[in-house]
């Protein structure tokens, strides 16, 4: 199966992060393979989604943002666009994450191959080769090093559970 795409059949990814550097790195990385929409807040993401006439295949959003969390954004957006896939990303360090069934989580810091594999698996599950290099070798250097640097604090282990979408934190 050929895995090339033309402009008309590119999948659309809405990327939301309040960290401008992370937003820039991820959007630049994905723009060759996807139609990319970017927003630096939940309200901006909702506005863009409402104005966008095409299908949005994936919401890739930061978990913790001021005013509206990624969970709140995903809940509102999936109510309006029930077929959208959700991938939450975060350097979340406390307690347990409770996600709606079918939502996915990517821990920061991450490397390109993790992002590639997750996104391709979510938006193109029928693809035989879900991991596509696009001439990029998996690396621990390069633009994603900035994401790792941005998340340089140590991350204790956490759990991801499927549930109602509520956040559960230890007392």
Give me the numbers of helices (H) and strands (E) for the chain, helices first please: 5, 7
Domain harbouring 67, CATH code: 3.40.50.2300
Report the sign of the C-alpha dihedral through residues 92, 65, 25, 165, in that order: positive
Q: Provide mean pLDDT across the span 101-117.
A: 86
Mean pLDDT taken over the chain: 76
Q: Provide mean pLDDT across the span 161-168.
A: 36
170 in a domain, yes or no?
Answer: no
169 in a domain, yes or no?
Answer: no
Instruction: Read off the DSSP letter of residue 28.
Output: H
pLDDT beyond 80 at 19: yes
Task: Spell 17-49 as b/e; 16+ CB within 10 A means b.
Answer: bbbeebbebbbebbeebbbbbbbbbbebbbeeb
CA-based Rg of the chain, rounded to a whole angstrom?
Answer: 16
- Give the total number of structural domains in the chain: 1
Which residues form the domain of 150? 8-163
pLDDT beyond 70 at 96: no
- pLDDT top residue among 129 and 14: 14
pLDDT of residue 89: 92
pLDDT beyond 50 at 2: no
93 in a domain, yes or no?
Answer: yes
pLDDT beyond 60 at 14: yes
168 in a domain, yes or no?
Answer: no
pLDDT beyond 60 at 16: yes
Assign 116 to helix, strand or coil: helix
pTM, 2 dp: 0.71
Q: Provide mean pLDDT across the span 88-105.
A: 75
């Amino acid at each position: 199966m050929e895995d090339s795409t033309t402009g008309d059949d590119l999948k659309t990814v809405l990327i939301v992060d309040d960290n401008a550097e992370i937003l820039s790195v991820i959007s630049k990385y994905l723009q060759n393979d996807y139609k990319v929409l970017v927003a630096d807040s939940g309200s901006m993401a909702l506005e863009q989604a409402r104005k966008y006439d095409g299908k949005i295949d994936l919401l890739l959003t930061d978990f913790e943002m001021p005013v509206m969390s990624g969970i709140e954004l995903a809940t509102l957006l999936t109510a309006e666009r029930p077929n959208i896939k959700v991938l939450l990303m975060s350097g979340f360090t406390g307690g347990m994450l409770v996600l709606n069934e079918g939502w996915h989580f990517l821990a920061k810091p991450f490397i390109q191959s993790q992002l590639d594999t997750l996104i391709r698996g979510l938006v193109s599950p029928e693809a035989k080769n879900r991991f596509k290099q696009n001439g990029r070798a998996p690396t621990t250097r390069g633009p994603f090093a900035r994401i790792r640097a941005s998340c340089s604090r140590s991350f204790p282990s956490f759990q991801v559970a499927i549930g109602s979408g509520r956040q559960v934190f230890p007392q």
